[in-house]
Structure 1
Amino acid sequence: MSSYEILCGDVSRLRWVGASGALNTAKDVRLVQAGHEADGTPLYVGKALHHGSQHIGKTGHHLAGVNFGYGGKEVVANDFLVLAYN
């Protein structure tokens, strides 16, 4: 990958919201979109605790949790947090 983006802004407007399974949040929760699948489906920033540490990954309404790399494989965590803003 030869390019990337950095999330900048007012950190006081960000918060982590609990989620479980397929991403389903309250309608008033605005999620931080971090990209999209090849077909254009939005992806959001998520994190989960795994083997004693937090791991950042991708989540979306079409996924069963938050997906992240660990030990050379993609892991799916069903209980996770998703990044939202006010």
Structure 2
Amino acid sequence: MKNMAVWESCSGGVIPPSAVRAGYEADGKPLFIARARMDDGTLNPGKAGCHLPGAHIPWGGKENIVQNYEILVQPVDAIGHYEWQRDSGGHVPISAMSTDKGMFVGRCHHEDGLVPCKVHVHYGCAFIPYGGEERRSSEYEVFCRVK
């Protein structure tokens, strides 16, 4: 049996055909779940899309564009499923997908879009990569394994 979702290495704006769509830009362009290793060694989640030059990762107060990243994909023969669950204040459901200690895959409504982002339990909020900044939101949705 395969996992429902796995990480696939990508670069330069490439999005695999089986990527998990997690949101959209204000103009409707699709956004996908990405993660990348940052300077402190942590794997931080963020957003990616075919229209973007790389993964956009919230880290260090900025929206960092990373050329080598991973995209969450769903293999065609995968068993099980995930869903988005609402949460807030740094809390996450027990079944939330983690990318590193205290960091989870999330998404937020922001600037007329639905943006994949990082939920960081230690800071009590979600960090959204947007407009060159790492923006905060106390309310978000978390990507959780259901079965």
Residue 21 (structure 1) aligned to one of 9, 12, 36? 12
Greater length-normalized contact order (CA 8 Å, ≥ 6 residues apart): 1
Query: Is this contact kept in 1: 2:15–2:71, CA < 8 A?
Result: no
Q: Does 1:47 align with 2:67?
A: no
Equivalent residue pairs, number: 73
TM-score, normalized by length of structure 1? 0.78
Q: Partner residue of 2:59?
A: 70
1:27-62 CA-partner distances (Å, limit 9, x unpaired): xx4110110000000000000001111110000000
Note the aligned Cα RMSD (angstroms).
1.4
Q: What secondary structure, in the 3-state scheme, does the structure 1 residue paired with 2:53 have?
A: coil
Q: Partner residue of 1:58?
A: 47
Larger Rg belongs to? 2
Unaligned runs of at least 5 residues, structure 1: 1-10
Amino acid across the alignment from 2:35: K
Q: Does 1:35 align with 2:26?
A: no
